[in-house]
């Protein structure tokens, strides 16, 4: 297993990070089996585990907490805060009020005294970024977290947070966690270069493109994977939005066969090859899926293969918009991109 330093923190993490989203009711509800998968990953050299409070409404954190008993000191543990955790308008978001409350719940579920990397799961423009950074800085000083980062932030928000931290004498985001795959390369144009300039670590999610690069979803093949059954419309080949994905998958599968690896191995190795990426999150639901991913852990792609991938999916392009990505408010709120009617008429 290869290791890299996480965003100037001095903490070394495995190039492959075990994502725990699929442990719990939304994926694998068997706690004992999930714990066996976590232990197998640790035994294989993975020392980085990423979860979130909202995964299966806290159940994922509980499973991870049980799995790390007796092994906590050897693991770099990451979790996240932002999404709703119960009823009420203040049980969500990036406010100091919610962060300092929810970190205590995560610590309890994880059965630990500290969190190595505490991440803001999405932007929240109802909260000043100074408020969020101030709360996180205090948690570091209190010893409850070691470092903090952001997840799925656009480049402009990452830069704003950096400047606010510098101007106000606060600690800064050390990492960003964006979606990144062969089929979703948009972050190569802005987020990855920005993080490199600011010395931030990057742990990417969804290297298998929400299931399209598992090798199980192909033209003319019935989608029988767990994820495909849950989200059948997303994989419907009759939909025009999916046709480009299927065409790219066929070309990538042929390339994988040509170089003697599986499509998932190619996909994960691609994400790890970018110089701006520190660690690639993979979220297995079964032991078989973990074993398949571990087989490709040592795979490194040469320039010739990366050039072929660039021909299929050009750098900086999105064959499809990544799922679960925050959308800029001006794109979803017409009032932010249209002048009032009277002002338009007046010229």
* C-beta neighbour count of 35 within 10 angstroms: 17
DSSP classification of residue 50: E
Compute the distance between CA of residue 163 and CA of residue 158 in angstroms, rounded to an integer: 9
Active site residues: 55
pLDDT band for position 150 (50/70/90)? very high
Instruction: Enumerate the H helices of the chain as residue ranges.
Output: 31-43, 59-67, 96-110, 129-141, 155-168, 191-197, 226-230, 240-259, 263-273, 287-295, 303-312, 329-332, 341-346
What pLDDT, on a 0 to 100 scale, did the predictor assign at position 337?
Answer: 85
Q: How many residues does the chain have?
A: 347
Higher pLDDT, 224 or 158: 158
* C-beta neighbour count of 85 within 10 angstroms: 18
Question: What is residue 306's three-state secondary structure?
Answer: helix
Q: Share the mean pLDDT of the chain.
A: 93
CB 148 within 8 A of CB 140: yes
What pLDDT, on a 0 to 100 scale, did the predictor assign at position 5?
Answer: 97
pLDDT at 220 over 70: no
pLDDT at 320 over 90: no
**Rounded average pLDDT over 266-283:** 97
Q: What is the pLDDT of residues 195-218, one digit of tens each?
A: 999 999 999 999 999 889 998 888
**Rounded average pLDDT over 265-282:** 97
Per the rule left: phi > 0, alpha: psi between -120 and 50, beta: everything else, 240 is alpha
Compute the distance between CA of residue 24 and CA of residue 91 in angstroms, rounded to an integer: 21
Question: What is residue 132's three-state secondary structure?
Answer: helix
User: Considering the entire predicted model, what is its pTM?
Assistant: 0.92
What pLDDT, on a 0 to 100 scale, did the predictor assign at position 8?
Answer: 94
What pLDDT, on a 0 to 100 scale, did the predictor assign at position 239?
Answer: 79
Name which of 85-89, 129-133, 160-164, 220-224 the model is least confident about: 220-224
CB 6 within 8 A of CB 14: no
pLDDT band for position 42 (50/70/90)? very high
Of the chain, the end-to-end C-alpha distance in Å amounts to 63
Q: What is the pLDDT of residues 69-81, one digit of tens each?
A: 999 999 999 999 9
Compute the distance between CA of residue 265 and CA of residue 267 in angstroms, rounded to an integer: 5
pLDDT at 230 over 60: no
Q: What is the CATH number of domain 3-346?
A: 3.20.20.100
Higher pLDDT, 235 or 166: 166
What pLDDT, on a 0 to 100 scale, did the predictor assign at position 137?
Answer: 98
What pLDDT, on a 0 to 100 scale, did the predictor assign at position 226?
Answer: 52
Compute the distance between CA of residue 256 and CA of residue 267 in angstroms, rounded to an integer: 9
What pLDDT, on a 0 to 100 scale, did the predictor assign at position 17?
Answer: 98
């Amino acid at each position: 297993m290869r290791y890299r330093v996480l965003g100037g923190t001095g903490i070394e993490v495995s190039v492959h990070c075990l994502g725990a989203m699929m442990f719990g009711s939304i994926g694998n509800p068997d706690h004992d089996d999930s714990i066996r998968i976590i232990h197998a990953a640790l035994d294989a050299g993975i020392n980085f585990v990423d979860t979130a409070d909202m995964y299966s409404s806290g159940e994922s954190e509980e499973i991870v907490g049980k799995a790390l008993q007796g092994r906590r000191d050897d693991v770099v543990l990451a979790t996240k805060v932002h999404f709703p955790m119960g009823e009420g308008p203040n049980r969500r978001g990036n406010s100091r009020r919610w962060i300092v409350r929810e970190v205590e719940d995560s610590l309890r579920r994880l059965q630990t005294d500290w969190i190595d990397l505490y991440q803001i799961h999405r932007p929240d423009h109802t909260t000043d970024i100074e408020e969020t950074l101030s709360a996180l800085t205090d948690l570091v000083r209190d010893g409850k977290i070691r470092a903090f980062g952001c997840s799925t932030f656009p480049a402009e928000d990452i830069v704003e947070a950096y400047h606010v931290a510098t101007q106000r004498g606060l600690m800064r985001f050390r990492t960003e966690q964006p979606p990144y795959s062969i089929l979703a390369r948009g972050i190569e144009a802005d987020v990855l270069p920005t993080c490199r300039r600011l010395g931030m670590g990057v742990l990417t999610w969804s290297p298998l493109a929400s299931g399209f690069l598992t090798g199980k979803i192909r033209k003319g093949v019935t989608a029988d994977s767990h994820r495909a059954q849950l989200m059948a419309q997303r994989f419907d080949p009759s939909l025009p939005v999916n046709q480009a994905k299927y065409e790219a998958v066929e070309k990538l599968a042929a390339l994988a066969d040509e170089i003697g690896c599986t499509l998932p191995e190619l996909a994960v190795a691609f994400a790890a090859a970018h110089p701006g990426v520190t660690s690639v999150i993979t979220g297995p639901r079964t032991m078989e899926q973990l074993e398949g991913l571990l087989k490709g852990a040592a795979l490194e792609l040469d320039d010739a293969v990366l050039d072929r991938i660039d021909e299929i999916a050009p750098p900086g392009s999105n064959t499809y918009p990544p799922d679960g990505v925050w959308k800029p408010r001006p794109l979803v709120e017409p009032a932010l991109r249209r002048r009032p009617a009277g002002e338009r008429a007046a010229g």
